[in-house]
Amino acid sequence: AQTVTQSQPEMSVQEAETVTLSCTYDTSESDYYLFWYKQPPSRQMILVIRQEAYKQQNATENRFSVNFQKAAKSFSLKISDSQLGDAAMYFCAYRKRGNKLVFGAGTILRVKS
Amino acid sequence: DAGVIQSPRHEVTEMGQEVTLRCKPISGHNSLFWYRQTMMRGLELLIYFNNNVPIDDSGMPEDRFSAKMPNASFSTLKIQPSEPRDSAVYFCASSQLAGGPSSYNEQFFGPGTRLTVL
C-alpha cells in the first residue's frame, strides 16, 4: 500500500524568510501525482501545488515550489518570502492513476512576525 | 461556481442518534469522496464514488456507517447509531473522473461538517 510520511509535525518561519516542508512517499508505481494542500484555521482544504511524476521539472506556483526527487521518493515544499497568511497545516498527498488520494499526517506551519 | 456544498456545517448530537451528512458536488464532476479528519488519525478516505457507483469503501469504519449517491448531484453519509468516537470533521470532495496520465483531476473539497457526538 502507498504511504506518505511527513516527518515534521511542526515548523516555524520568520515572516519574509524561506521554509521547506518535507514529504516522502512509498510506492511501486511509476505513473502518479503528488500534491500539497493547505488547511488554514477555517478548515478549508486548498490545493497549493501539484506535480506529475513523469515530469522532471519541479512545479512552481508563485512563492511556492517543490523539490521532486523521484528516485528518492521525496517531494518537499519550499515557501519563499513567507507571509502571515501562510500559517496553516500543510498536507502532502499522493495519487496514482485513479482517484484515491493518500495523505500524510500534516505539518503545522507557524509564521512569526 | 459554488464549489462543493456540505450541510450541516456543524452537528451536535447524542450517542445513539442517527446522523446524516449531505454533500452536493461541483456540477460536471463525476467522482465524489468522503473523508474524515481527526487529531489521532489525520485525514482518512472513507469511501468514493465514480459515476454514482461506490468504488472503494474499505475506509468505512464499520457497519454503522453507510453512504449513498442516488444521483450525480447529491450524496449522503449516514451514521446510525452514532458514538462519541465518531466525533470528527467530515469532508466531501469532488473531481472529474481520472483520465490519462496528463490529467491531474484535482479534488475540490467542501468546507467540512464538524460532528460532535456527546
Q: A99 and B101: CB-CB below 8 Å?
A: no
Please tell me the predicted confidence (pLDDT) of residue B99: 60
E strand spans, chain A: 3-5, 10-14, 19-21, 24-26, 32-39, 46-52, 60-61, 64-69, 74-79, 88-96, 101-103, 107-112
Output the average pLDDT for chain A: 93
Beta-carbon-side half-sphere exposure of residue A54 (alpha carbons within 13 Å)? 11
The pLDDT of residue B75 is above 80: yes
The pLDDT of residue B103 is above 50: yes
Q: Looking at beta carbons, which residues of chain A come within 8 Å of B101?
A: 31, 52, 54, 97
Task: Give me the sign of the Cα torsion angle B85, B17, B35, B52.
Answer: positive
Q: What is the average pLDDT across A8-25?
A: 97
C-alpha cell at B112: 467540512
Please tell me the predicted confidence (pLDDT) of residue B101: 45
CB contacts under 8 A, A 66-95 vs B, are 91, 95
C-alpha cell at B87: 466525533
Instruction: Give the residue on B whose Cα is nearest the Cα of A48.
Output: B106
B40: which residues sit within 8 A by CB, 6+ positions away? none
C-alpha cell at B35: 473523508
Please tell me the predicted confidence (pLDDT) of residue A101: 87
Please tell me the predicted confidence (pLDDT) of residue A96: 76
Comparing B41 with A108, the larger pLDDT belongs to A108
The pLDDT of residue B115 is above 60: yes
What are the tens digits of pLDDT across the range B14-34?
999 999 999 999 998 989 999
The pLDDT of residue A29 is above 70: yes
Of A44, A91, A97, which has the smallest distance from its Cβ to B101's Cβ? A97
DSSP state of B107: P
Instruction: Give the residue on A whose Cα is nearest the Cα of B110.
Output: A44
CB contacts under 8 A, A 13-42 vs B, are 31, 33, 35, 42
Please tell me the predicted confidence (pLDDT) of residue B102: 45
CA distance B47 to A10: 29
Of A47, A52, A104, which has the smallest distance from its Cβ to B106's Cβ? A47
What are the tens digits of pLDDT across the range A51-104?
988 888 999 999 999 999 999 999 999 999 999 999 999 999 998 766 678 999
Please tell me the predicted confidence (pLDDT) of residue B96: 84
CA distance A57 to B56: 33
C-alpha cell at B63: 457497519
* CA distance to partner chain B, nearest, from residue A44 (Å): 5
Please tell me the predicted confidence (pLDDT) of residue A100: 79
Q: Would you call B111 helix, strand, or coil by DSSP?
A: coil
Please tell me the predicted confidence (pLDDT) of residue B100: 46
